Amino acid sequence: MHNTKALFLRASILLVAAIFNNQPAQAGFTSEENTTSTLEHWQNPSVFRINKLPARAFYYPVTNEEDAFTREPWKQTNYQLLNGTWKFKWVNAVSRAPQNFQTVDYDDSQWDDFAVPANWEVNGYGSPFYHSHYCLKPNTEQIELPLTYNPVGSYRKIINIDKSWDDNQIILHLGAVKSAFYLYVNGQNVGYSEDSKTAAEFDITDFVELGKNTIAMQVFRYSTGSYFECQDMWRVSGIERDVYLYAAPKVRIADFHAQTTLTDNYRTGVLNFTALIGNRTTESAKGYRLAIELLDHNNVKIASTSININNTEKNNDSEVTTQILVPNASVWSAETPYLYQLKMALVNGDGEQQEWVGQHIGFRSSELKGGQILINGQAVLFKGVNRHEHDPVSAHVITRESMRKDVELMKAFNINALRMAHYPHDPYIYYLADKYGLYVMDEANIESHGIGAANQGGAYDPEVHLVNKVEWKDAYIDRVSNMYHRTKNHPSVVMRSLGNESGDGVNLELSYDWLKQQEPNSPVISEQAQLRRHTDAYGQMYASLEQVERFAKTKQDLTRPMILIEYEHAMGNSLGNFNEYWQLFERYPQLQGGFIWDWVDQTFAMKTADGRDFWGYGGDLEPPFAITAKSFSANGLVYADRTPYPYLWEVKHAQQNIGFSLSKASNLAIQDGQGSGQSTQVEIRNKRFFKNLSDIELTWQLLVNGDVDESGDGLILSAEPQSSQIISIPVVAIQHDGKEQLLNLQARLVRAQNLLPEGHIVASEQISLSKLPMPIAAAEKGTNRLSVSDNEERIQLSGKDFDLVISKTSGLISSMIFAGDQLLSSNVNKPVHPNFWRAPTDNDFPQKGYGDQFGVWQHAGSHTELTSISVQKVSSQNTKVLIEQYLPAVESRYFTTYDVYGNGTIDVDVYFYAAPHKRRSYLPRIGTQFVLNKDYQHVAWYGRGPHENYIDRKSSAFVGLYQSTVSELEVPYVRPQENGHRTDIRFLSFVNSKGNGLKFTGLPLLAFNASNFDMHEFDSSEMQVSRRNMHPTDLIEQDHIFVNIDYAQRGVGGTDSWGSKPLYEYTLPWLDYRYQYRIEPVRKD
């Protein structure tokens, strides 16, 4: 991928403007006088497939038994992989597409060499653009396809057909082509296809000859299919998945369905098998049979049968069926992904095995029953994510290594379900989901969001929407059929979605009915249907906690569950109140979990002019005038390179399948101050549905004031699914003043399984064994004398190896010297001042009135007016300085008391008085900013960590002793914003390379941030965000450190990123606040 913007802007800016700036299209059918007979195929909604083979299950037919289950068929003699270099010509309009390019003798020597698969726009041909829902241009209600800017890519490739393929049926497989294309072979028009996310297969037997052949394609960026593909993703074009030829016998297995279920109380596996035998010979096929074997995962034969195939007429198909029962079957689930091997051989009349097909199958049932979706009879919880196909270099061309990495991370972070947002994904990831255990919601490639979506308000008119237009009906069902057939043999696909934000109406109802005709019991979801008849779950998006609980409590609909098919919008610094959702899901049986939006950032690896790396988002790759949704493309749980964001740890903790708590007896004893006796009893709750805990070992650590005091391992667990057991930990909880006891528990895998290594931590918890709150330690006064100098300009307090100066003009600390070192920066005017501001998060900005109301806090702490300042001598070792300040921005008062001791200890008492008659908005934070000398880069703290955490996202961050550097505390969100916070801090210190510095102690607790960057350089208003694309590389590292010592900071929220606030308990209302902390010098021993 080219890493400069210039290469992305190869298309003519003037031509692109017609699309991005909402200019009228120059051609297309937009009025009644345009009849379908006068339209090109790519303009006609009734034309979406010409000469395509029917949709089928995805599998690789081969010619030998040993390779029946291969995932790399290219090594077989009956396959030819066509990935690689093709000749390529790109033009920016249909009218400029080359003519007669498909002919064998066409001269393509001046064409470019271009890779397949690859997207054009990230390789210098045209411009990608990002938007969350627009199809071609903003608010397009009419179906208008442009000619002025509709790029066309023409492809040519010379291939060779070996003589060994003679007398075979030759099929061309194109895994994904966006958005529509014509196929030519040796100059002849073979066919046409739309639906850019499912395979198009063509029988080209009659078009090829032995030896050299010319394959040509003409691909359109925009077609009527584009109005089904208005998904929240980068709009790019081209061939996106594998292209290959395969040779099959002319009597072949054209398709099969290995439908499984369970009977006899979910103990007996049932395989209902159907195969379609195709005959493309010139005579009836006689004497054929289909030999079937079912083997377990150890290759032990479980069952076998042979089905005689009745005479199959020439150019016709025959259907054969059988049923296999497996008593006491090992069932497939995401927890126990047990796969059987189904092997098929097509045997001709001479007894020759001429074709082999292998398919891994799993015995499982999926059904709507009793108001819940049951997997193998259990109402499982879907701990899911939405996943787009995205690569930071190649866009929508995804490698198998990347897919495997995704599945590995999902398993590692307790994600058990995957919604294929918003189209069928590469077949390989379904194979991985089957093998390693993920519940899949497959989804049809249907989203017409740019024309309007139901249940969202705005400009949605069902009367003019595609979903209610008869001429679009067949295209809806075709896309649903394509989705269904390709994955119908995958046990991981436990439910299907009719699409996303596609409007609601008769065409979706017909699509639902079609799916139910195929598999009556298999759940079908439509978010757009809400609680109408054509959905088997209430597939809500971004429902608030209140709405979710109301559905469960009021029993609004007892016939089906609620599943949040999108929730917790992970844009920027987000995913607050995630735990609260999972508390509801586990409390109410009719709530069956949800799918976080979303898995991976849709950003691109780019470089600045001076070579620094950054993540490009909407607006970085498009022309300057393009309408874009900007950093809305960055809302993943992982960066585009699959590096986890800090909040992925919160997902892992909230969704872990093991719960830990003190037994009632131990808990009562500790709270009564009696300790825990001879040991501590812990209740272990197995939240799995199908698997006991015998594969789990429990390890533990006892922390005393953060240090490991005792530890143990080797405790093998045994609780059955949905049951509990009591474990005795040989730890005695004893109440000690000033000593905090914390019990850390980790559940680890005894052996490797499903991509996870031996010893992998599947669940963890921290349990306090101390009676809270802990007593506050008294200040160590020492015997050092304290001298005080008080003049008109300043108050100077000096003791042994320290010196403190407070300005009498501002009432703020201006100098702090310990052990001869100046701790505060001398390059700023006010190195210590109250702070009420944080750099707004992506969730902050859309909140109503945020810019107007919260903006007053940005400089409220640095623009103060001194009201009074006084000195009170307590003793020769101790003096108090009392300060009152007025905050003009919020018309309130701020009181600070510094209780200073001769040994350098300073107890700080802060009181913010919120004038009740001057009510302002809630506070972003309340605390004090210290601007430290650059030397104090080494940070240690006793509090929550090691990763970033906030008051509404901290359950996964355990209390402990941690060390870091300032730069390591920072989180480089794609669009710079508030980051790096830590909560529940007992104490923290900043020291230089000599080991000297200062320590802050909470009385009782603090929160803090530390950064090398000034948060006032970050975006502070929506206007700034709209006018510029900011990245971490745009920030200038300062020559000092910004340390915020906070009473608290508001939560980050997460319900959505377009107006929902953090939960009330995680906000800072307009109230009075008081808090205390201590400052002490740190000297290297």
| Residues 248, 133 contacting (CB under 8 angstroms) | no
Q: Is 566 designated active site? A: yes
Q: Where are the beta strands (DSSP E) in 390-472?
A: 417-420, 439-443
Q: Measured between alpha carbons, how far is 90 from 151 in angstroms, rounded to an integer? A: 7
Q: Measured between alpha carbons, how far is 55 from 737 in angstroms, rounded to an integer? A: 72
Active-site pick, 201, 501, 884, 1080: 501
| Number of residues assigned to the chain | 1085
Tokens of 2: 């080219």
Q: Measured between alpha carbons, how far is 241 from 66 in angstroms, rounded to an integer? A: 26
| Residues 820, 1000 contacting (CB under 8 angstroms) | no
Q: Where are the beta strands (DSSP E) in 481-536?
A: 493-497, 524-525
Tokens of 1056: 């959505």
Going by C-alpha positions, the residue among 882, 874, 869, 928 that lies closest to residue 901 is 874
For 860, phi then psi, to 5°, come to -60, -35
- Beta strands 591-596 and 562-567 are parallel
Q: Measured between alpha carbons, how far is 184 from 404 in angstroms, rounded to an integer? A: 35
Burial 445-457 (b: 16+ CB within 10 A, else e): bbbbbbbbbbeee
For 618, phi then psi, to 5°, come to -55, 125
Active-site pick, 566, 697, 948, 1080: 566
The 3-state DSSP class for residue 650 equals helix
Number of Cβ within a 10 Å radius of residue 631: 28
| Residues 158, 111 contacting (CB under 8 angstroms) | no
Q: Provide the sign of the torsion angle of the four alpha carbons 86, 91, 95, 99, taken in this order.
A: negative
3-state SS track over 141-178: CCCCCCCCCCCEEEEEEEEEECHHHCCCEEEEEECCEE
The 3-state DSSP class for residue 1053 equals coil
The three-point CA angle 1072-1077-1083 to 5° equals: 160
- Beta strands 1040-1049 and 1073-1082 are unpaired
The 3-state DSSP class for residue 563 equals strand
Q: Measured between alpha carbons, how far is 542 from 596 in angstroms, rounded to an integer? A: 9
Q: Output the DSSP codes for 880-926.
A: EEEEEEEETTTTEEEEEEEEEETTS-EEEEEEEE--GGG--PPPSEE
| Residues 541, 565 contacting (CB under 8 angstroms) | yes
For 602, phi then psi, to 5°, come to -95, 70
Q: Is 501 designated active site? A: yes
Which residues are the active-site residues? 501, 566
